Amino acid sequence: MKQSMAMIGLFTLMSVTTVQANIWQALPEKAPAPKDNPTTAAKVELGKTLYFDPRISSTGTVSCNSCHNVMEGGDDSRPNSMGVNGQTGGRGAPTVWNAAFYSTQFWDGRANTLEDQAIGPMTNPIEMGMKNHDLVMQRVSKMAGYQVMFKKAFGNSDMSIDQAAKAIAAYERTLITPNSPYDLYVKGNKKALTAQQVKGMNLFADLGCASCHSGPAFNGQANVKVGTPVLMKFPTFVDNSYVSQYDLASDKGRENVTGKAEDNNMFRIPTLRNIAVTAPYFHTGTVKSLDEAVKVMAKTQLNIDLNTSQTNDLVAFLDSLTGPFPQQTMPRLPVTPGKSVITE
């Protein structure tokens, strides 16, 4: 009996070690930046200030941080995000943490870069509600503090929407969370994970979860050219109660972008980094807990019914993907003495 248990333990160790050599990768300590937008301290500071400023919305009430709160999980904990005038969109806000490691942005991959994504919500009538980007920059340019910050970041007085996009993207590329317990384990610290987490890690690979959720960010988008959508069919298996219970199939996904029937229910593969702190789950925001989300994924994507032990092991492993969050401080926003840019 002891020999059998020893063999099982050896098999588990060999299995994890073998898989680790093939698919387990630590998150880089620094996010990649495009050649035309190198990350600088001045750009990051400007981008951070714009990110927290609600005055770039029509009502002066919604900032980037409203839906992607960097003081917690990088989302807003809502099933559907709320924009100007209390309007809600049709999808939950994906976390901004580690968004720098995506090849495309948004659930449907409709934006190629962080720069593209950064300015999209500004003119969305539900999200930030500005009529156009010219009006956004007219408002921003009236604030003397921003004039100084743009000049420092870009060396000129253009104050364009492209510069605003580059600054916000530069800040977002600092929002990464390496050195989670999982990362430390992959780097060689075999005490960084519990026995249950190692068991869940092995199960994650054995069940096929890593066929989609691969790479350092667990989003299948490592070494993929920026602008290339990496998508998965969700739900894949529809003959189960979860699809109707959580309304998983009514959103057409990327088909709404391309108009192609083959893109129906196709969504960008989301990162599993910090998944334990970004409930509720899926683009619908209808699944409230991580253990339930794990069971839903297993059934709808792999057609597997997990037992309680398997679910608990997978959740334990996913918990290990929560990394230390860089400390965030609230910026002092530029003031407009004696007037309001919102009411002008």
Q: How many CB atoms lie within 10 A of CB 233?
A: 17
Q: From the candidates 45, 115, 127, 255, which is the catalytic residue?
A: 127
The residues facing 232 across adjacent strands are 267
The Cα diameter of the chain in Å comes to 82
Buried b (16+ CB within 10 A) or exposed e, 307-333: eeebbbbbbbbbbbbbbebeeeeebeb
Pairing of strands 266-268, 231-233: antiparallel
127 is catalytic: yes
Alpha-carbon gap, residue 290 to 294, rounded angstroms: 6
- Give yes or no for a contact between 62 and 68, defined as CB atoms under 8 angstroms apart: no
Other CB atoms within 10 Å distance of the CB of residue 60: 16
Catalytically annotated residues = 127
